Amino acid sequence: MCGIVGYIGREGQEDARDVLVGGLENLEYRGYDSAGLALSNGDLTVVKREGEVTELVSALEENNPGAAPVGIGHTRWSTHGEPSDANAHPHTDCSDDVAVVHNGIIENYEQLKAELRADGHQFESETDTEVVPHLIEAALKRGADRESAFRSAVDRLEGSYAIAAVFEDADDVFAARQDSPLVIGVDEGGYYLASDVPAFIDHTDQVLYLEDGEFARLTPETVGISDADGRPIEKSLATVEWDAEDAGKSGYDHYMLKEIHEQPRALRKCLRGRVDGIERTVDLDLELDDVGGVHLVACGTSYHAALYGAQTLRSQGIPAQTFVASEYTRSSLAGQSPLVIGVTQSGETADTLGALRTARAAGARTLAVTNTVGSTAARECDQALYVRAGPEIGVAATKTFASQQIALHAFALWLGEGMVDSDQIDALRTLPDHVQSVLDDSNARNVAREYVDASAFFFIGRGYNHPVALEGALKLKEISYEHAEGFAAGELKHGPLALMEDDAPVIAVVTGDDERARKTVSNVKEVQARGAPVIAVTDGRSDVEQYANHVLTVPETEPVLAAVLANIQLQLFAYWIAAELGRPIDKPRHLAKSVTVE
């Protein structure tokens, strides 16, 4: 969601302004509506603007604050107050001696604001964040030093936060986190602070992860990390296993298109060392015994992957349920003791973390299925299964969804204690090549051009194709802003048929030739009889193409993996619809990559 950057350089190193602007540009994918910097160079200079980072850069050129060795920056995604210059971060105290940036939500800010106003503090914004610099100011006036004042302010906060602060005429950065990520980058030239690694991956791949309740003080020469009581904490450096080039566009017009085309490689990485074609086995580096049932908790695209994963688990005889993470409560356990799997691309999704913490508090075992090594979910869960998709910059998830699908499918096969036949193994091993063939041969762009002016889009599927239909609709609405809905195909006659129009195509995902496929073909006939155009995504085994206006083909494979291939076509269709409409595909309005507030 919001993005934090911070930098403090040793003498003779880079100007903080350049580092911070570069960091903010690297975090643009997270989604934001304003941006700002605070630079400490004897005086404290704050520059912030509604709009994109380019607006901030123009403002910096106009203000020309000069070189500074230390600073913090922020991209804001509005929660309290509309997008505006005043509501943009950083926020300062009455005397402009301290500047603060913040991700998360301070739940008791109204109470704190009333208390501070009663003491004479004046506020310039509608945000919850602005109480923090005023709390620091109040503590300084009581005689506290900078670190004590910062800690005192943080102690008053209720809610979620990642906070960083800088002071006038001081060469240090203070930071703290609770339920919102912060990571420190380390190199010979200085120290970096960010809400996500891409902010500073251009400079270093050596990182320290802050945990909930921890504080950090960065100086030109040292990083000090301590707990809430001030006791020092020793941490080991971790190495990020990708570099800045991995996060570039590589000549593609958008990150999303690049990441769609990276899926063969991502799936090979997901499967490498896990699927043995000689021994015909699936082996995961996990330790789990006596799994009687599974609950999967997730949000958005990851929820659709979880729906898919639950079906693969049930196919192996393992009871599995899927829950929207924000709806998961202790009563969801209902006396059960399942393995609770949190499916989260970033590993920082607030609702999913909340569900996992609920499960742990009830004594359940937990497993994170995530793309991000060192993320909160990976650290807090009993074990982690990494999907290995590599960095994903586009807000709309693509390669991480496919990698989640395959990681969960492999997990189901592994948990099924050897119930893996040769056909399944062969299909998994050839899947990346099949994905490549879809990418090479897809006519989704031409089909998209036919329907770019449609009034609405409806996606249907059964079985493994049902979650894919839901995801296809989500992907289209995310990046094109067009109305799209996904249904279980059998539900059409229970209401959605009333929406059928000759300018509202139905995208039917039909693979295989079993009873589900035949029933979906019947649903397609119902749609056709009502005058709606049909786009069939199919492997050709059901003859659905004779009832379709257009066809997007996928290779024949095992039913569980045909759904993965169908999803590639739906991603391309959504992309080309959005491209024809001229939408900002990588940064869709109102959305964020990592949703760290509930």
The residues annotated with a catalytic role in the active site are 2, 593
Q: Coil, helix or strand for 56?
A: helix
CA 576 to chain centre: 22
Contact between 202 and 22 (Cβ < 8 Å): yes
Write the CB contacts of 327 (distance below 8 Å, at least 6 apart in sequence).
none
What Cα–Cα distance (Å) separates residue 450 from each residue in 152, 266, 334, 444? 61, 31, 50, 10
What Cα–Cα distance (Å) separates residue 17 from each residue in 31, 40, 318? 21, 10, 54
Tell me which residue of 401, 410, 428, 380 sits closest to 306, measured CA to CA.
401
Q: Coil, helix or strand for 429?
A: helix
Asked if residue 90 has a cis previous peptide bond (ω within 30° of 0), the answer is: yes
Q: What is the spatial distance between Cα 412 and Cα 142, in angstroms, rounded to a whole number? A: 59
Q: What is the spatial distance between Cα 88 and Cα 77, in angstroms, rounded to a whole number? A: 9
Q: Which two tokens stand for residue 576?
A: 């080309």
Backbone phi and psi for residue 220, each to the nearest 5 degrees, phi listed first: -60, -25
CA angle 475, 479, 481 (to 5 degrees): 105
Backbone phi and psi for residue 446, each to the nearest 5 degrees, phi listed first: -65, -40
Q: What is the spatial distance between Cα 104 and Cα 113, in angstroms, rounded to a whole number? A: 17
Q: Which two tokens stand for residue 88?
A: 């943009």
Q: How many CB atoms lie within 10 A of CB 206?
A: 15
Contact between 40 and 78 (Cβ < 8 Å): no
Backbone phi and psi for residue 53, each to the nearest 5 degrees, phi listed first: -60, -30
Q: What are the residues facing 99 on neighbouring strands? A: 92, 166
Q: What is the spatial distance between Cα 573 and Cα 578, in angstroms, rounded to a whole number? A: 9
Contact between 267 and 434 (Cβ < 8 Å): no
Q: What is the spatial distance between Cα 366 and Cα 346, in angstroms, rounded to a whole number? A: 17
Q: What is the spatial distance between Cα 181 and Cα 347, in angstroms, rounded to a whole number? A: 10
What number of CA atoms fall less than 13 Å from residue 423's CA on the CB side? 6
